[in-house]
Structures are given as C-alpha cells and as structure tokens.
Structure 1
Amino acid sequence: MIKVIIIDDESHAQDALEMILQQYFPHKFDVLAKCNGVDEGISQIIQHGPDLIFLDIQMPQKNGFSLFNQIKNVDFEVIFTTAYDSYAIQAINRNALGYLLKPIDPEDLIATIGRYEERLASGSVNKKLDLLINNLESHGMQVFSTDEGMEFVHHDDIVYCKADNNYTKIYFKDESQLLVSKLLKTVHERLPAKQFHRIHDSIVVNIKFIARYDKKNCFLILKNGEKLSVSIRKKAKLLNEFY
C-alpha cells in the first residue's frame, strides 16, 4: 500500500480527504498520520517515511511551504491542498505532483492520483533500466543512446570513436558505424580507461586493435589497415603504455 500523511490544520478537511481516498481507492492508500501543522507533520514524516503527503498551504502557525526549509532530502511526492488559488506558481516551483482546491473535487483527486501512478511506473522502469545497464557494464558492455533508441555494445567490438561535432561516431570491427548523441569526452569517460586511449582531440582508440605505430609520420596503423593520426600532445602518454 502507498503510505500517506495528511497535513492540514482543519480536522474535518483531514477526515474528508481520507474518506475520499478510501471510497475511490480502496486498499491502495494507508493513511499513517493526520497532522495539524508543519512541525507535527515533519515529526511524522521522519518517523514513517511516507510515499506521498497531502499538504495544506495556509495554516495558522507555519505556511505549508516552510516544510521544505526543514526537510532537505524530499524523497516523497507532494500534493498541495488549499482553499486559495494564489499559490499555484509556488507549488509548481516545488515540483508538486498536484494542486487541489478545497473542497476537494473527487474527479480532480482521481486525475492527480493518476499522475502519481504514472510517476511510480516511470520510476520503476528507470530503476530496472539502471540495474540492467550496471549489469551490462560489469560484463564488458556499454549502452549508448541514439536518435532511434538505445544500442547495446561490447567494448571489444569497438575499434575507435571519433568526434562529429556534438555527436560521436563509433567504428566497429565488423566495419559498421554508430552515431551517438554524446560528446567524445562523455563517451570516453564511460569506456574502460586501460583499454581506450585518447590519441587526438577527436579520436579515442581501442588499443587491442593497434598493429603498430609510425614514429616518422606520427600515426597509428590498426589491424584493419586504417591509419589514425596521433597528436603531439597525446603521443608521449600513448607511448608510455607500450614501453
């Protein structure tokens, strides 16, 4: 169940909101606490760690927005509830999930809860994707974003990467290419440092594909016969890897 805390100085407003939640979303929300002000609300948030709070704005002791001055790590969603429509901009600036005017219209609440469930689903997908990416990286693979979607690439299949304005073109050992929407610097940082070396401002090479180095002309000859220029500034660092 989704853990909820209601913060509102009017007890009848607390009860009305809880009743609507129970009526339209049976067995979905667990109201852990109903608080009369910000200080009590903060205490209950610390104690229970809610998923969602309904927060009144205009209260006698402290304005609802003051809660964010006392809780730095907000790891819950917030739906503001208020009898005034003059706080909407402030609510938006707080990245609020919703802004409900009292008395709360069940249809407005249902729509807001719908957005909350969409955020939950999106967050779940993102967490699973992050886990997948971490698992792939531990097995020598990398995930790159393209205009069409995502590409899963093994490090050992990459011959070299070349800057292409604000993009990077990746060249593979099967002679295919991939254009990714990242700067070369960003792509390089995501690849194993011992395997991929910057030999030029615009080129990162996989040392496994280097056949030899031409000192006279200052370029690398790859196993596939391609030649890549090595900049003067990068030459010493590259040679240190082989001597």
Structure 2
Amino acid sequence: MGNKEMLEIFVCEDDDKQREDVVKIIKDYIWMQDYDIAFDLASSDPRELLSHIFEKQEDFTGLYFLDIELDSDINGIALASKIRQIDPSAKIVFITTHIELMSLTFDYKVEAMGFITKDNNKMKEQIIDCISVAVERYLNIKKDTEDYIIIKRGFSSIKLNVSEIQFIETSEISHQLLINMKNRQVSFYGKISEIEKLNPNFYRCHQSYVVNIKNIDRIEKSNREIYMIDGNKCHASVRYLRGLLSKLEKLQ
C-alpha cells in the first residue's frame, strides 16, 4: 500500500465462473463508492495467494473472500489460518455450498466475519454488506502514529491522513466543502465552522477557509495569502490573521 494506507480485498475460488462473479460484484461496488479500499488479487490457487501477501512485506489489512472447498491440498479454512499468521488483522469471509463446515472455523480459530452460501439470490447483497462492515471496522481501528479524520459521504466513510490535508474551503455548491490534499481534492457536505474541531492542527483563518497549520510554508502579511508546502495557497482575513500568526509561533 506504500504511503497510502487502505483496506485490500483478495479472493480465492477455484471455480472460474464463480470467481469472476464474485470479483465483478466487488469491483462494481468499489467503483460506485469512495472508500479507501482496493481490489488486489483473485486466484484459484491458495499457495499463490499466500505467496502474494507474504511478499508484499508491508503493514496492511486484507478482506478475504475464500471458498472452503478448493482444488488443492489446502482447503479454505486451513488457508484462512495461514493468512492469519501473515495478516493478523485479516477480515475473512467464507463463500461455500457447505454451510455445515462453519463449525470447523472454530477448530482452526480463524474468527470469520461472515459466511455466504453460493448461488443464493442474496449473494451480491451479502458480499456488499461484508465489504461495508469490513470498511467500517477498519476505519474505527485504533489510530497509529499518524492522525486521521473520518468524513461521511452519503452512506460511505473516508479516512483521511491529516498530514496530507493542506486546507479546507467552501465550495460554490451550497453546504459543500472541499478538502485540498497533497495529491487530490475531496468534496463532502458539512459546515466550515465545525471543521476546526476535527483536529488541533486545523485553524479557521477566513470565513471560507480552515488551514492545516503544520503544512503552511509561509504567510504573506501584505495581502494575507497563505502558501502551503505543496505550492497551493489560501487566504486569511484580518479578523483571523493575528490568531493564526500566534498559533504558528507556538509551533516553532
């Protein structure tokens, strides 16, 4: 995942048609949402999947959709157990025609988050529900050394790294805000007056702007322009400029 942390999805299913169906459901849903989530690998071979996640050599969390009966000496439950050794935070969902095998997951201590019966008319809905639950749990894990904020966009949530946020501004669209980041811009609906409360590094510098003070490169006092470390700029008003300068001094 490099510097951009996100949840990654993997599929292991030895039936080509069923694997393609599951992958299509997953990719279509990800495309429709704005989750920090990526589809990584689909394979019929459990050893290929294990080798792939082992070679990533990164801290990551995966969501795995696994067939229980695989054309291999490693069945889906044993595969899940081996996945846990590589990816302790793995979120595992079994897709099977034999729901009675569910009890075996307790013997292997794989802690599956879901079981989906193949070829039932709710299969798509259940896969989507598992993705949504996995994303929600992922976003709510204990924060690591970096700060994040979570914003809501309709029925989805987005986790944003504060260190990448330059400033937030109001949009021409009523009640819409724009988060300007190092490499992208994210829009959502909210109130600019409430943004400052999301993180101690945010400061209301203008009626239409909240700036991340840690990403300020310099401030031109003559025209009250704030230049960010990514080269972008926003504005400060006379009302807020003195407080902004005071807060910057405290960081030095």
TM-score band, normalised by shorter chain: 0.3 to 0.5
What's the TM-score, normalizing by structure 2?
Answer: 0.44
Choose 1 or 2 for highest CA Rg: 1
Kindly indicate whether structure 1 or structure 2 has the higher relative contact order, using CA contacts under 8 Å at least 6 residues apart.
2
What's the TM-score, normalizing by structure 1?
Answer: 0.46
